[in-house]
């Protein structure tokens, strides 16, 4: 089994309130694995045999409709868990997880979960927090989709990504993994065409700098303004 240094993960929210020696015991139940860029980690609908903790890289969780359309549920950043189907009482993964960058994960068998939470109740509590937070974020997203127009939603989405996985550059904040217009469209409930138009517009105003699967926010402040502006407060 791969040996994982406890000190690397001890500070993660998942392990809050867990003693070092306990942590060791928890980690012994896990194995680690590497997923190259653009490989699937699990597929929507598959048996939930494992749950995961992302150590390095980035993972996209996406849900597909019967008719084939996709939405991005979220991007998983290092230190976050994913594939928690079993914790919420589902035997199957409700979404597909895909490494968008070379990624390293810890993997526990689903079967270990009951034992783990019995022995380490903090794990259950922490997971509850996490799931609750995600629920709130979902509601916020629904609120946005209901009340804001596309440009504002895209602004919000980018700011969130920058916040979660932004790399500070001197010319701005770069989103630290490959992300296409299509991806952003699937996060905001629009089309890649519309996203492209919006980003083009922003680029010509110097708000962002962007290229192939790459986005740098040059003026986060002014983007915040866009995100919050009332639909009818006209700009020159």
CA dist 130 and 52 (Å) reads 14
Binding partner of residue 181 among a second copy, DNA, none, CB cut-off 5 to 8 Å per kind = DNA
CB 33 within 8 A of CB 20: no
Binding partner of residue 129 among a second copy, DNA, none, CB cut-off 5 to 8 Å per kind = a second copy
The distance of closest approach from Cβ of residue 57 to a second copy in the complex, given in angstroms and rounded to an integer, is 23
134 lines the binding site for a second copy (CB under 8 A): yes
Nearer to DNA, 134 or 229 (CB): 229
225 lines the binding site for a second copy (CB under 8 A): no
Binding partner of residue 150 among a second copy, DNA, none, CB cut-off 5 to 8 Å per kind = DNA
CB 179 within 8 A of CB 212: no
Q: Which residues pair with 60 in a beta bridge?
A: 75, 98
CB 61 within 8 A of CB 73: yes
CA dist 87 and 85 (Å) reads 6
73 lines the binding site for a second copy (CB under 8 A): yes
Nearer to a second copy, 107 or 124 (CB): 124
222 lines the binding site for a second copy (CB under 8 A): no
Largest CA distance in the chain: 61
Contact residues toward DNA (CB under 7 A) are: 149-151, 180-182, 189-194, 196-197, 199-200, 203, 210-213, 231
- H/E segment holding residue 192: helix 192-204
- H/E segment holding residue 103: strand 103-109
CB 78 within 8 A of CB 28: no
Nearer to a second copy, 50 or 218 (CB): 50
Given the rule CB under 8 A, which residues bind a second copy?
63, 65, 67, 69, 71, 73, 84, 87-90, 94-95, 118, 121, 124-125, 127-129, 131-136, 138-139, 141-143, 145-147, 186, 189, 230
């Amino acid at each position: 089994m791969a040996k994982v240094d406890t000190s690397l993960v001890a500070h993660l929210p998942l392990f809050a309130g867990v003693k070092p020696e306990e942590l060791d015991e928890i980690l012994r139940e896990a194995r680690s694995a590497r997923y190259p860029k653009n490989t699937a980690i699990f597929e929507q609908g598959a048996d939930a045999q494992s749950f995961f903790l992302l150590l390095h890289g980035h993972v996209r969780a996406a849900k597909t409709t019967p008719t084939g359309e996709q939405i991005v549920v979220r991007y998983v950043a290092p230190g976050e868990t994913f594939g928690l189907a079993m914790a919420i009482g589902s035997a199957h993964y409700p979404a597909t997880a895909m490494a968008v960058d070379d990624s390293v994960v810890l993997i526990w068998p689903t079967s270990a979960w009951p034992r783990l939470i019995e022995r380490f109740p903090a794990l259950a509590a922490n997971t509850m927090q996490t799931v609750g937070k995600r629920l709130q974020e979902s509601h916020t997203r629904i609120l946005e989709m209901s009340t804001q127009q596309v440009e504002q939603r895209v602004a919000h989405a980018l700011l969130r990504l920058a916040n979660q996985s932004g790399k500070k550059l001197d010319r701005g904040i770069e989103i630290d993994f490959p992300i296409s217009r299509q991806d952003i469209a699937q996060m905001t409930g629009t089309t890649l065409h519309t996203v492209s138009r919006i980003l083009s517009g922003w680029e010509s105003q110097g708000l962002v700098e962007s290229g192939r699967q790459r986005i740098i926010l040059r003026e986060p402040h002014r983007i915040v303004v866009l995100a919050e502006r009332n639909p009818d407060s006209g700009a020159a």
